Structure 1
Amino acid sequence: MYQPLEQFSKYWIFKRNDPKVADEDLQGIRLLDESRASQVWRDYISDEQVHPDHFSDRDWLKKNSAQAPDGKFQWEKAWDRDDASLPDEMRAHFSVWGADTTVFFCCHNELVFEMNWGVFQRTWKAFLFLDNGPVLVGKKKKQAAQFHSNGWANLLFRES
């Protein structure tokens, strides 16, 4: 179900001093094995496409009904600040999530991280070194976000 985080080719993103990921938070970040990652991807992201670059109008995240009102914001501005807190737009969109909500940071069908929302809130800057379209979803939650390499993100609502 999981594989050692150290096996991730870009493990260095979690070992940098800026942004610093605390050891206790590092313990809470799990790298799913390819089989489990593929299952989470199919269940939460897309059962047709394997990478964000290939999303089509048939995928829920591209549908108008999935877009949160005023749900486009610049994550890079908050990322560049010394303050480690989440952007205000994200805090508001995900306000119904508890710190123990299980979340998945989905890069593509074979690369998915699992952690709780509290850990993600403290480590989000490290994850956004992987900014080529990853999608953040919560287990059994409707709220989601997709991050783009141009510094923008979309706040979304998953279909039931």
Structure 2
Amino acid sequence: MSYLPLDEYQRKWIFTHQSMPIPEHDLAQIKPMSEARAAQLWKENISAQSPDSERFSSSDWPSKESNWPDSVDWMANWEDDELGLPEEVLNHLDWQDDVTVYFCYEKYNVIETKWSIFRKHWKNFLFYDDGPILIARRRKQALWFDSEGLVQLGYRS
């Protein structure tokens, strides 16, 4: 099985938190991957040897500064109820709504959804902001969030 039922996902509360609940029809499109599938995606797209963003090796594409030409503050938008993703992020990711995205917390914790769902509910995903990377199927653009409130805008190599 490639996905876990959301009810079995260890961090389900970030999507059902009373302060930012997600409607049922959108919840159905948030798919936590099984550990085996998450590890496979991580190995093929993020790092073959590092289990999380804190331990990337020099051969991992995210560790190369040249892949991250820009960064922007995301925390101010996260804390404001009226604001969505920073404009610079939206300009960097000119993806169609139906593009499949992967929000990669670490090797065994990856969520698959659509760009439209992530864009609408990005604040829920960032309840955990300890280095997650957002990538998309067949796209080079990437985002790397940090707990200091910055998101690096970059490109997979």
TM-score norm. by structure 1 comes to 0.93
Counterparts of 2:113 and 2:91, CA distance in 1: 20
Structure 1 residues 20-99: aligned runs within 5 Å: 20-68=21-69, 71-95=70-94, 97-99=95-97
**How many residue pairs get matched?**
156
| DSSP 3-state at the match of 1:144 | strand
1:3 match: secondary structure: coil
Q: Percent identity?
A: 36
Counterpart of 1:155? 153
Instruction: Report the TM-score, using the length of structure 2 for normalisation.
Output: 0.95
Q: Are positions 1:145 and 2:143 aligned together?
A: yes
User: Which blocks of at least 5 consecutive residues in structure 2 are unaligned?
Assistant: none
RMSD after superposition: 1.1
Structure 2 distance, partners of 1:138, 1:22, is 23
Secondary structure of residue in 2 paired with 1:112:
strand
Runs (5+) with no aligned partner, structure 1: none
- Residues 38-83 of structure 1 deviation map (CA, whole Å, 9 limit, x = unaligned): 1110111111101111113221112132113xx1111101101112
Please point out which of 102, 105, 120 is paired with 1:104.
102
Deviation at 1:28, TM superposition (A): 0.4
